[in-house]
Amino acid sequence: MASFDPREVAVRCAHFIGGRSRDARAELEVFRPSDGGFQSGLPCASADLVDEVVEGTWRAWKASDWASRPPRERARVMRRWADLVEADGAVLGPLEAVGSTRPLREVLAWDIPYVAEGIRFFAEFADKHGGEVAATATSHLGLQITEPYGVVGAIAPWNFPLSMAGWKIAPALAAGNAVVIKPSELTPFSILRLAELATLAGLPAGILSVVQGDGRVTGDALCRHPRIGKVTFTGSTGTGTAIMTACAESGPKPVTLELGGKSPQLVFADAPDLARTARSVAAAITGNAGQVCVSGSRLLVQRAALEPMLEGIRAAFVDLRPGPTWSAAATLSPIISQRQGQRIQDIVTRSQAAGAEILVGGALEEGLGGAYYQPTLITGVGADNPAVGEEIFGPVLTVQVFDDEAEALALADHPTYGLAAGVHTADLGRALRLTRALEAGTVWVNRYGRSHDWIIPTGGYKRSGIGKDLGRAAYEATLRSKSVLIDLEHS
């Protein structure tokens, strides 16, 4: 299956409560990014409904043995869920692609297997994670044990709807928690199927709930609910701040925040293969049309490599074909909404007004229905240019030139963000010096972007986040720690 007809994809205007979809009155509208067409209405859970759902999820969790059953049996359910997800491309694929910026081809080859394998990865921790015996006097036994929080509140963004939901749900469930998740109101549909498959796999009914709605009403109510033990969020830095405030005002409650980025790609003249590096740099800003938290949106290039890099990037950019997520021929994704497309244009226009030169692109494509932004290359910018300072979340790459390592490091440093960075050099010593010196939660050397190594955690420095997704750290973050001291002389 390489393409589909968007009119034939049936979506439900529903929440997922008590182990099944619950249809509800539409209050919001959802449009397809690919052609701007109306897809469906969407309910918006009020604070009262969020209260009902969180209480119901907590009661279902208490009534079930999910947290107390042998961990290997919990893992078995998770693995069954992963198998169902992996086998569900025919339904899940179009459902994900129709309402998001993810091309069907990539959803089938990447997103779905990635989510399934991520679920399996976290399932493996269930019976392999233990506590500690503390160094107490021999008259006592001191234990440090871990326990689930209860109900974890999760809030997800729109850029990779299924994978981001998987990052949030899988570790929390594997560790024995229940989860109430609110997907983005722009991409709300595929997650209903993900939840349905979890129930089919044997997850106790009611311990995974989906509430639909916007951030201001539904998301805020979820964060503030007293039964929510912890909040895990992926989205923008501004929203992360609002969520942390809500969690402080209603708690305090612990938070994991995966936030925005403005990640640099540092290319030295001795990079192993400049043509390959140029393709890699271009892919790191055009993948999902730049709507990736770790997009390499700032190219920092050593003067001697400038021309070959610009040439290679330009060639890669002009090769891309914008088109709907359901077209097998398209190689450039739409922007999620017209509003976001205009926001990108606004930053590019302000960047130009501040003295930048647009080498390639710089405009929205016309006549395609959806918002498609041309891959754009901007030079003549300093740290104070809007295109360098602001997270654009589109296929827009700024270029700055450096002469030596110290200058590269100074340019790489961003006042707000520290999510990821890439270093391209054949000099291992330099690569190691820079991986230490760069203020970023992830540094890639001679590559850019995540691999399928779920064991490597991801998370930001500075205002790019608090805590980690993926890896052992993500599993541990869904557990709280209890200290136990037993008097052996009187036991």
Q: Segment contacting ligand NAD (CB under 6 A): 27-35, 127-135, 229-237, 306-314?
A: 229-237
Q: Segment contacting ligand NAD (CB under 6 A): 172-180, 252-260, 421-429, 445-453?
A: 252-260
Say how many CA atoms lie within 13 Å of 379 toward its Cβ. 11
The closest alpha carbon to 396, from 443, 349, 445, belongs to 349
**Which 50-69 positions form the footprint of ligand NAD (CB under 6 A)?**
none
CA distance 201 to 281: 40
Is 401 near ligand NAD (CB under 6 A)? Answer: no
Is 341 near ligand NAD (CB under 6 A)? Answer: no
**Which 146-165 positions form the footprint of ligand NAD (CB under 6 A)?**
155-159, 164
Q: Segment contacting ligand NAD (CB under 6 A): 33-41, 127-135, 366-374, 457-465?
A: 457-465
3-state class (DSSP) for residue 73: helix
Is 393 near ligand NAD (CB under 6 A)? Answer: yes
Q: What is the separation of C-alpha 156 from the centre of its chain, rounded to a whole number of angstroms? A: 7
Is 259 near ligand NAD (CB under 6 A)? Answer: yes
Q: Is 349 exposed, middle or buried (0-12, 13-18, 19+ CB in 10 A)?
A: middle
Interface pick for ligand NAD out of 465, 467, 468, 479 (rule CB under 6 A): 465
Q: Looking at beta carbons only, is 419 or 423 nearer to ligand NAD?
A: 419
Single-letter amino acid, residue 227: R
CA distance 473 to 479: 10
Minimum CB distance to ligand NAD, residue 426 (Å): 30
Active site residues: 258
Minimum CB distance to ligand NAD, residue 119 (Å): 18
**Which 190-219 positions form the footprint of ligand NAD (CB under 6 A)?**
214-216, 219
How do strand 465-466 and strand 14-17 relate by DSSP bridges? unpaired
93: phi then psi, degrees, rounded to nearest 5:
-60, -60
Minimum CB distance to ligand NAD, residue 470 (Å): 9
The Cα diameter of the chain in Å comes to 81
CA distance 277 to 315: 13
Is 390 near ligand NAD (CB under 6 A)? Answer: no
CA distance 187 to 428: 42
Which parts of this chain interact with ligand NAD (CB under 6 A)?
Answer: 155-159, 164, 182, 184-185, 214-216, 219-220, 223, 234-236, 239, 242-243, 258-261, 293, 391, 393, 419, 458, 460, 465
